[in-house]
């Protein structure tokens, strides 16, 4: 019974073919066979539909409008490859459900003839072409393979090193089936685990809730992940997470995201720069009116959707933390610092040949003479274990304390006083401390020598020195703190704020500077620090007469003084 054709359909096809300009079809019409009337009617309807637009056969006449609608529904309602029952239901209803059996559209149900449709076949094997290599071998089972070792290798590689089987096989194949070498390779091979962080997972879940399986949109919300990584994550966790319960019920009603996208696309844009939310470089910045700042697209979409700024934890993910390398020229200082922090070895004392000879008593001497911290009774200083002994109510004592003489001394003290001797902790002496001590020692000695020689020095000479010192002192005093160019003049960041007004203090200072340096504006600006060269120049120009007068009087005064 089964030849669902009618003669007019055949005719239509023939016409179609001749229409294509190919008259090679000489198939005689097949004898028409009986068909059940219902289908016949349907068939006829269809053929008539087909027969009408013969010339525009390629114009995609949709087969039927209602079947398209049904199909959409069907596709939307898919989701259920899981439930066996549903599948069966589909299956059973499939026979009658036209929407189901016709999920595809736009086909004119004809096999066409013509060069536009047929493949062009080259004559066979005119010559043995050199075929291009079209593949890469991943794995081939060689003839001399120890199956047990293979099993062992695979279980090791997949179990311990977490390699996928095909990669393990590929490694083995690349090592020409040498298990030992392959094992070494497998060990070294770090499987790039596409691990998802907790933040990413929760963001994925949120996105999935809103967008469903529109992975493109999820990808837009988490651009640090590749689309295929997202899809793979979905499939890997699909059965575990039960995403279906998460899908938003409103998903099919309105696509808020699309509207959002449209809305966002119409927002005010700035060509490029850095997002003010995530600091990422972006080609396009969009004004976020609520926050009144420019943000990149992911940030703004996130904000529109969640009504909160895109969190920082997610941003940290996208940025790779960079470790700053220590510049070469700074390394000397770092090494110097490290060296100074090493425990003292007494070498500095020997090298410089200064400082006191080490005596045993020193080991328990307390250097810190802060009365508050000093224990009232006799006490022993001990080497500290803690890094910061000062916290422990101690003094800052120095050297190691483990010589037999020191120990004997402690015993001695303990015996003498018959009481509990409080212990005082001290830091292990570092080189830095040692050198400081040496310098102090040196200074002390020089002071000592100075006092010793004082009596022998002619008094007149000393009086001269004193006079010089005074002169020097006087010269220093001329530098007021405001004029000082050290950091005290600047703010905390080390930058000096330039101000525009002239305070009386500043005017006074400026005039004094003019006295000394006349019109060397650069120098004055440097000294003043709060004024630019231009400002000082202007100040000078504005008050030239006055300043010049002032200078003259100053000089005259100076001359008269010196003259004496």
Instruction: Please give the residues from 102 up to 141 whose contact with other proteins meets the rule CB under 8 A.
Output: 102-113, 116-129, 131-141
Interactions with other proteins, residue window 29-48 (CB under 8 A)? 30, 39, 42
Q: Which is nearer to other proteins, 67 or 384 (CB)?
A: 67
Q: Nearest 5 degrees, angle CA 53-CA 55-CA 61?
A: 40
Q: Which is nearer to other proteins, 242 or 436 (CB)?
A: 242
Residue with tokens 């149900």: 109
The one among 34, 66, 81, 461 contacting other proteins by CB under 8 A? 81
Q: Which is nearer to other proteins, 211 or 401 (CB)?
A: 211
554 touches other proteins (CB under 8 A): no
Q: How far is the CB of 278 from other proteins (least distance, A)?
A: 23
What is the distance between the alpha carbons of residues 6 and 13, in angstroms, rounded to a whole number?
Answer: 11
Query: Three-state SS for 285?
Result: strand
What is the distance between the alpha carbons of residues 406 and 253, in angstroms, rounded to a whole number?
Answer: 88
Interactions with other proteins, residue window 212-271 (CB under 8 A)? 212-216, 227-229, 231-232, 235-236, 238-240
The one among 8, 61, 173, 209 contacting other proteins by CB under 8 A? 173
Which residues, at least 6 apart from 363, have a Cβ–Cβ distance to it below 8 Å? 381, 399, 400, 401, 403, 406, 409
Q: How far is the CB of 315 from other proteins (least distance, A)?
A: 25
Nearest of 284, 301, 282, 318 to residue 200 by alpha carbon: 318
Q: How far is the CB of 13 from other proteins (least distance, A)?
A: 9
Return the bridge partners of 293, or none: 288
What is the distance between the alpha carbons of residues 93 and 343, in angstroms, rounded to a whole number?
Answer: 88
The site for other proteins, by CB under 8 A, has a size of 106
> Across the chain, which distance is largest between two alpha carbons, in Å?
147
Instruction: Tell me the window of 178-186, 292-300, 497-505, 550-558 that interacts with other proteins (CB under 8 A).
Output: 178-186
How remote is the C-alpha of 418 from its chain's centroid? 64
Interactions with other proteins, residue window 326-385 (CB under 8 A)? none
Q: Nearest 5 degrees, angle CA 255-CA 259-CA 264?
A: 140
Instruction: Tell me the window of 177-185, 380-388, 436-444, 455-463 that interacts with other proteins (CB under 8 A).
Output: 177-185
Interactions with other proteins, residue window 453-472 (CB under 8 A)? none
Interactions with other proteins, residue window 55-74 (CB under 8 A)? 60, 63, 68
What is the distance between the alpha carbons of residues 280 and 283, in angstroms, rounded to a whole number?
Answer: 10
Q: How far is the CB of 5 from other proteins (least distance, A)?
A: 5
Q: How far is the CB of 147 from other proteins (least distance, A)?
A: 5
Q: How far is the CB of 193 from other proteins (least distance, A)?
A: 13
CB 34 within 8 A of CB 1: yes
What is the distance between the alpha carbons of residues 308 and 391, in angstroms, rounded to a whole number?
Answer: 45
């Amino acid at each position: 019974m089964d030849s669902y054709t009618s003669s007019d359909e055949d005719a239509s096809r023939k016409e179609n073919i001749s229409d294509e300009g190919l008259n090679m079809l000489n198939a005689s019409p097949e004898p028409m066979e009986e068909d059940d009337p219902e289908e016949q009617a349907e068939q006829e309807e269809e053929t008539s539909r087909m027969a009408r637009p013969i010339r525009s056969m390629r114009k995609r006449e949709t087969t039927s409008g209602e079947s398209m609608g049904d199909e959409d529904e069907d596709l939307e309602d898919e989701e259920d490859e899981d439930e066996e029952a549903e599948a069966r239901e589909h299956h059973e209803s499939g026979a009658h459900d036209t929407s189901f059996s016709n999920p595809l559209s736009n086909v004119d149900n004809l096999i066409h003839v013509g060069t536009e449709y047929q493949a062009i076949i080259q004559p066979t094997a005119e010559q043995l072409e050199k075929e291009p290599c079209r593949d890469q071998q991943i794995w081939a089972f060689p003839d001399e393979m120890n199956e047990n070792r293979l099993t062992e290798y695979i279980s090791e590689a997949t179990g311990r090193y977490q390699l996928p089987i095909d990669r393990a096989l590929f490694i083995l194949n690349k090592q020409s089936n040498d298990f030992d070498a392959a094992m070494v390779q497998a060990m070294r091979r770090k499987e790039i685990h596409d691990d998802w962080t907790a933040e990413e997972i929760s963001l994925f879940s949120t996105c999935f809730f809103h967008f469903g399986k529109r992975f493109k949109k999820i990808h837009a919300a988490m651009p640090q992940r590749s689309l295929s990584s997202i899809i793979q994550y979905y499939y890997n966790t699909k059965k575990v997470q039960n995403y279906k319960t998460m899908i938003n019920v409103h998903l099919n009603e309105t696509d808020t995201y699309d509207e959002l996208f449209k809305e966002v696309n119409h927002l005010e844009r700035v060509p490029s720069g850095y997002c003010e939310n995530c600091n990422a470089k972006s080609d396009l910045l969009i004004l976020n009116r609520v926050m009144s700042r420019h943000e990149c697209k992911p940030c703004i979409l996130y904000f529109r959707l969640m009504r909160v700024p895109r969190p920082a934890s997610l941003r940290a993910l996208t940025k790779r933390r960079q470790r700053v390398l220590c510049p070469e020229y700074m390394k000397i200082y770092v090494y110097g610092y490290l060296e100074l922090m090493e425990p003292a070895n007494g070498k500095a004392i020997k090298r410089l040949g200064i400082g006191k000879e080490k005596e045993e008593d020193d080991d328990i001497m307390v250097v810190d003479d802060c009365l508050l911290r000093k224990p009232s009774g006799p006490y022993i200083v001990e080497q500290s274990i803690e890094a910061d002994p000062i916290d422990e109510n101690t003094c800052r004592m120095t050297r190691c304390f483990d010589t037999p003489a020191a120990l004997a001394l402690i015993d001695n003290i303990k015996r003498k006083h018959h009481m509990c001797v409080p212990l005082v902790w001290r830091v292990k002496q570092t080189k830095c401390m040692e050198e400081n001590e040496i310098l102090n020692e040196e200074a002390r000695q020089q002071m000592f020598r100075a006092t010793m020689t004082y009596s022998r020095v002619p008094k007149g000479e000393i009086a001269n020195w004193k006079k010089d010192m005074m002169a020097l002192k006087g010269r220093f005093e001329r530098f007021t703190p405001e004029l000082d160019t050290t950091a005290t003049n600047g703010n905390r960041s080390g930058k000096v704020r330039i101000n525009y007004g002239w305070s009386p203090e500043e005017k006074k200072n400026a005039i004094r500077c003019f006295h000394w340096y006349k019109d060397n504006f650069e120098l004055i600006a440097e000294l003043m620090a709060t004024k630019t060269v231009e400002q000082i120049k202007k100040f000078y120009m504005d008050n030239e007469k006055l300043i010049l007068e002032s200078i003259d009087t100053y000089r005259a005064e100076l001359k008269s003084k010196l003259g004496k």
